[in-house]
Amino acid sequence: MIKENQRTLNYINVILDALLIFLCMPIAYWARFFLFPFDDRGITLRYYLILTLCMLPIFLITLGAMNLYDSLRTKRLHWEVGRLFWACSINFVVLQTILFLIKQFYFSRLTFVLYFVLVFFALSGKRLVLRLCLRKFRKQGFNQKHVLLLGNGPMAQRYIQALADDPNLGFFVEGYLASQDTIPDLGYLGNLDDLSSVLNDYQPDEVVAALSAQEFSLTPTIIEICEKEGIKLSIIPFYAEYMPSNPQFDNINGIPVMNIRRIPLDNLVYAVVKRTMDIVGSLLLILLTSPIMLFAAIGVRLSSPGPIIFRQERVGLHNKPFDMYKFRSMRVNAQQDTGWSRNRDPRKTKFGALIRKLSIDELPQLFNVLKGDMSLVGPRPEIPHFVEQFKDEIPLYMVKHQVRPGITGWAQINGLRGDTSIVDRIRYDIYYIENWSIFFDLKILLMTPLKGIINQEKLK
């Protein structure tokens, strides 16, 4: 039943996308020539609409090629929005290329810019509304994906808990097969030998095998039975219990090779994009904040004797040390104490306490970003003393050094800065590292002025 529902949903998705893609053109045309009528229209709306109809199949094919019409039950909205951004960008380039090749120079380029911006927001908004509707339907028991679970070990129980934690996914576990009935509040349907008969009786949409190491040898038989019945099979390997993160699969001459940690920034293209954003962003922010930095420099000079800029060794990408810049907020030589800076720290000057509250002391790190020591967004760097201490005390601590450290980060905008729990900070840092995207960085940068830069607790 779920297959028919998914097919119907896909049809609705395509039709709504086609309507929105088409209707955005007259809106963009109106906005361009009625809100900004600073030159002649040149070509009437009729020709823009004809061009839109010609581009419509290409647009829909692009959306399909980016898997936006697949089942998105386990995908997050930001994943869809990211794919939509790239789809709109690709189609914009394709359209401009076609117009150039056929020497059609009379169409307004500003109209097309407005059009693709409108399409991006319209399709994103439609998907948000669709998700909200599906969430409501699933709470009422509709559009549920019925699952048969195989196994009762740790991974099986983690799978059940994951579905319980996010009911909006719309998965309903019919029951489970295992050697013993050990999972409370879930229907026990028999042992693994009963798989064929249970599939015939319940007709689930999917079978999820979460077998123990001792039972894993049954996998070929389970695959054969599920394929014979035409039912989708997903496998949670028993060793996933020991894996710290989502794996990444490579293919070496047909042999799947699993890397236990997925780091998007290992991809050269992503790394170049992020570095470009860092260079452009740091230059822009240096220009915008130069009056503030001038004020801070004068204040530091007048508040106490010593250098304006304080340099402190930190550990960066691939465990390499670098000098991180800050406006000096303490007495000279006070920073030699390796303890955390406290709220009422006697080592601070009065002006230093002020610029710390507002995080103005961090602004020189924009030059660290420009040099390549740091990024605008990333895990905060630590001094070598703490790195040596934490790497033996905190599991996965050294993972944070697989990317450039940042001025702000996912942990910081969630209130984890300074002497807060280092374990929680590492958990947020690893989530950022494994789920990095351009939009994730933009989200953090947009949230930083409100939640990350200004230390709310100190202001209170």
The per-residue pLDDT for range 112-133, each reduced to its tens digit, is 889 999 999 999 999 999 888 8
Handedness of CA 312, 316, 322, 327 (dihedral sign): negative
Name the token pair of 61. 């094919």
Q: What is the DSSP letter of 348?
A: B
pLDDT the model gives residue 458:
47
The string of pLDDT tens digits covering residues 428-444 is: 999 999 889 888 999 89
Cβ–Cβ < 8 Å for 444, 377: yes
Q: Regarding predicted confidence, which is higher, 368 or 69?
A: 368
pLDDT, average across residues 289-302: 93
222: nearest Cα among 240, 243, 201, 198: 198
Gyration radius (Cα) of the chain, Å: 28
209: nearest Cα among 177, 179, 256, 231: 177
Q: For the chain, how long is the longest CA-to-CA vector? A: 83
Percent of the chain with pLDDT over 70: 89
Could you give the CA distance from residue 413 to residue 113 in angstroms, rounded to a whole number? 33
Confidence grade of residue 460 (pLDDT, cut at 50, 70, 90):
very low
Selected from 3.40.47.10, 3.40.50.12780, 2.60.40.10, 3.40.50.720, the CATH number assigned to the domain covering 145-242 reads: 3.40.50.720
The string of pLDDT tens digits covering residues 363-378 is: 999 999 999 999 999 9
Name the token pair of 120. 């991006």
Confidence grade of residue 457 (pLDDT, cut at 50, 70, 90):
very low
Cβ–Cβ < 8 Å for 168, 72: no
Give the length of the chain: 460
pLDDT the model gives residue 381:
93
Q: What is the pTM of this model?
A: 0.64
In the chain, list all ranges with CATH 3.40.50.720. 145-242
Degrees, nearest 5: CA angle 380-382-387: 130
Output phi, psi for 209, to 5 deg.
-100, 115
Could you give the CA distance from residue 45 to residue 23 in angstroms, rounded to a whole number? 12
Q: Does residue 345 carry a pLDDT above 70?
A: no
Could you give the CA distance from residue 457 to residue 418 in angstroms, rounded to a whole number? 11
Name the token pair of 216. 């894993």
DSSP H helices in 262-332: 268-303
pLDDT the model gives residue 238:
84
Cβ–Cβ < 8 Å for 177, 148: yes
In 178-263 the beta strands, taken as DSSP E runs, fall at 188-190, 206-209, 232-235, 248-252, 255-259
pLDDT the model gives residue 17:
93
